[in-house]
Structure 1
Amino acid sequence: MSESPTVSSPNRVEQLRALFAELRLRYPKPLASGASAAPPIADANLYEPGQLVQIFDPSIVTRVAEGGLDADEERKSGRRRQIARQLQVSGHQRLLGACVTDALTERIAVLKASHPNFAEVSEEIAREAVLAQFGNASVTGLRLLLVGPPGVGKTDYALRLAEALGVPMQLVSMSTAQASAHLGGSDEYWSNTRPGAVFEAITSGRHANPIIVLDEIEKCRLSHVGSGGDPLGALYQLLEPRSAQIFCDRSVLWLPIDARHVNWVATANSTEGLDPALLSRFVVFEIPMPSAEAHHAVLQRIYTQMLREFGVQDRLAEALRPQDLDALSGTSIREARLLIRRSIAAALQSERDVIEVCHTARAPERRIGFC
């Protein structure tokens, strides 16, 4: 008697689907142009280490994909099935990046040296890395609030931290956040409903612990009146590990996700007007203006990075001259970047081997945007 053909069981299909999802996480393709992520620390085609953690219950997604939830209007149920099928492809697990290694410890030390006025913040991250060695071996769940005057380099530090940890970064400008939907999604009954930044960062990415930077967090209090809710409302749940573990985006209320591993970095010019209950969920750091010596070191670093970025190390002097440093004194990090970039372009255009920064080339003062 001939044997009947083997039929793949549902469990076998799920196992294969999980295997393919893990392979996509471990051996990622290079990021597409314009992708919002920190520059990779290593070759994007190499195997990426890190513990896999479950971010949602796959059985819920399976039921929704098969139309197993309560009957509902076609638009809503159809959208749910589409989301569920997408999640089936990407899988219910994500990597914990920022694995604690000697290389990571060294990058944190470099970050501390390059941003001396953020030394206390870097020391806090180093302590978290030590604790992580006795847990999941990855830096997760940071809740940092950097408070300081404009131009002190808060956003620049947050971006460099994402590079040092080697995890994706999403920057949310809270001065333009108009509603609670920005972070926690919009209500499902709206025809244009869409998930918020947290759901998208976790489910659409490869990591369970990306960095979400909330820039100028104190300014959203002025912009949310009459806009459909407090932009910070979702943070009360997201910054508490227990409640973040069962976070439900308002656009995908049927699927709780585990958002407790997300690393949060908020920036503010002051804490005035911020709810004490919200502040208590952060580790707050007062960031001083850098000393003249430290400011010069940062300017040199920016210049060196730009030379590498444009591949002109062999065409221009390797360091800024004292007169250039003097011309950049008192500038914010943002303004200094623009001035150095312009000066490099001018030197290349004139076929000179040194740049010349002068006060007449100073960019106009603008306080809108990152600080």
Structure 2
Amino acid sequence: MFKPRPHGDDHTDPLDIGQDLEDFGQEVLHPSSISDHGDDEVINPWVWHHPDGLSIEDVDRQDRAIDAVEMGKPRTVTLSIGPVTYLRLTEPMTKDDIRNSSGRDAEHPQRAQLKLEAETPVKLMGPATEHAIDEVISALFARAPAFAPALQALRDSAHLALAHGANYFHFRPLLVVSPPGLGKTSLVRSLAKATGLPLIYLDGSTMMTTVDLTGGDSVFRSSRPSAIFQGLNQHGVGNPIAAFDEVDKLADMSRGARENPTESLLPFLESSTAGRVREHFLQIDLDLRFLNWILLANDIDKVPRTVRDRCRVVQIPALTPKDLAAVAEAEVRKRHLEPELIAALTRACAKGQIKSLRKLHKALDAAEATLRRPRLH
């Protein structure tokens, strides 16, 4: 599993068509274009983003690259510790912009500060070789074999992004549909941790508006920036994992809301529109093409077809009693619990008393808590 496609295989996921270097709008800044000399030294790509590894010459090259980057045109600079790609999320404010917005921002001091922060370029990062990506996917598969189709889709799309010029982790939007309790959310959190990318987590079951996606209308004193922008601004990374959990349960109770609020995601899911998404609180456009979207749902029929058409859809069936028993056995051994527990859990799975991973882990947690409980004399 997870073997590279043979050379000459011309099968391409239609969702990946056009995801080439030109579509990314990426330009490469070689050392010669921003410095007097270069460095061919090959260094571990996993540590290129750590500032401790930068020399004085690197800092100078980096500063020049940051000054040169424009919205819509990510720039890659080759440092002694490897290539680094910078992305400008929005256009720099002009004097006219500052003058025109000063009155409006007087009621929202936070907004003025956030606009300035939005102008600071962010990095595109994560595993940037086929081998590094394969290691991440293989580790996740070992922990969650039921999600093999979803992991394979991630791997293939991330490999294709590398082939088209990316030197960072990027994949096309993915919609994972499965029964509840299978571990979708845990898988996404594990993916973010394994890739070293920040996680922007949205929960459709608790959202009553689409403010977390687009920001609140700035005419209201209680408005706020979107969770998307806050995550980008906090971490300084332009390609985080953006997970929308329970997307089939999204509701919008605000006045004038669209009939199906899930369609608010549409501008985010296509490169042609994600390059300029309006942030209503800040009143600026953001380049969100590099967000790594994973939508999670229990019922595919409640996800609009317009959203499904823009994603790679992977449906994961419910685990069988045999599958659950295998997971139970592995977890018992991993947690160093009493071996006799395996038989008890296997019987519970067979009788239908445990039907999901969520319920299985609750039983395992209870057993582990009992084992660690101090004995009373």
- How far, CA to CA, are the matches of 2:122 and 2:254 in structure 1? 38
Unaligned ranges ≥5, structure 2: 1-33, 35-46, 53-79
Aligned to 1:186, what secondary structure does the other structure show? Answer: coil
Are 1:145 and 2:152 counterparts? no
Unaligned ranges ≥5, structure 1: 1-14, 16-22, 29-46, 308-312, 352-371
Counterparts in 2 of 1:64-83, with a 5 A limit?
67-70=98-101, 72-73=103-104, 75-76=106-107, 78-83=109-114
Partner of 2:18: none
User: What displacement does 1:349 show?
Assistant: 1.3
Partner of 1:118: 147
- How far, CA to CA, are the matches of 2:50 and 2:81 in structure 1? 5
State the AA in 2 paired with 1:244.
Answer: A
For 2:304, which of 254, 261, 275 is the aligned residue? 275
Aligned to 1:129, what secondary structure does the other structure show? Answer: helix
User: What displacement does 1:194 show?
Assistant: 0.8
Instruction: Give deviations 1:209-262, integer Å, cap 9, x for gaps.
Output: 111211111112xx32456635434311111112111112111113x2211111
Aligned to 1:53, what secondary structure does the other structure show? Answer: strand
- How far, CA to CA, are the matches of 1:297 and 1:27 in structure 2? 44
Partner of 1:84: 115
User: What displacement does 1:301 show?
Assistant: 5.1
Instruction: Give deviations 1:285-317, integer Å, cap 9, x for gaps.
Output: 111123444333433555566x4xxxxx6xx55
Structure 1 stretch displaced more, 50-59 or 180-189: 50-59
**Partners of 2:321 and 2:349 within 8 A in 1:** no
Partner of 2:358: 334
**Partners of 2:247 and 2:295 within 8 A in 1:** yes
Structure 1 stretch displaced more, 326-335 or 179-188: 326-335
Change (3 A) 1:188 1:333: same
Change (3 A) 1:142 1:229: same
- How far, CA to CA, are the matches of 2:356 and 2:363 in structure 1? 10
Instruction: Give deviations 1:168-215, integer Å, cap 9, x for gaps.
Output: 112211011111212111001110111112111212213211112111
Taking only the aligned residue pairs, the percentage that are identical comes to 24
Partner of 1:345: 369
User: What displacement does 1:87 show?
Assistant: 4.1
For 1:229, which of 254, 257, 266 is the aligned residue? 257
- How far, CA to CA, are the matches of 2:313 and 2:161 in structure 1? 21
State the AA in 1 paired with 2:345.
Answer: D
Q: Which has the higher contact order (CA 8 A, sep 6+)?
A: 1
TM-score (norm 2): 0.68
- How far, CA to CA, are the matches of 1:106 and 1:280 in structure 2? 29
- How far, CA to CA, are the matches of 2:105 and 2:203 in structure 1? 35
Change (3 A) 1:227 1:325: farther
State the AA in 1 paired with 2:281.
Answer: S
Change (3 A) 1:302 1:87: farther
User: What displacement does 1:71 show?
Assistant: 5.0
User: What displacement does 1:320 show?
Assistant: 5.7
Change (3 A) 1:133 1:174: same
Change (3 A) 1:293 1:27: farther
**Partners of 2:238 and 2:290 within 8 A in 1:** yes
Aligned to 1:59, what secondary structure does the other structure show? Answer: coil
Aligned to 2:286, what secondary structure does the other structure show? Answer: coil
Give the structure with the larger strand fraction.
2
TM-score (norm 1): 0.69
User: What displacement does 1:263 show?
Assistant: 0.9
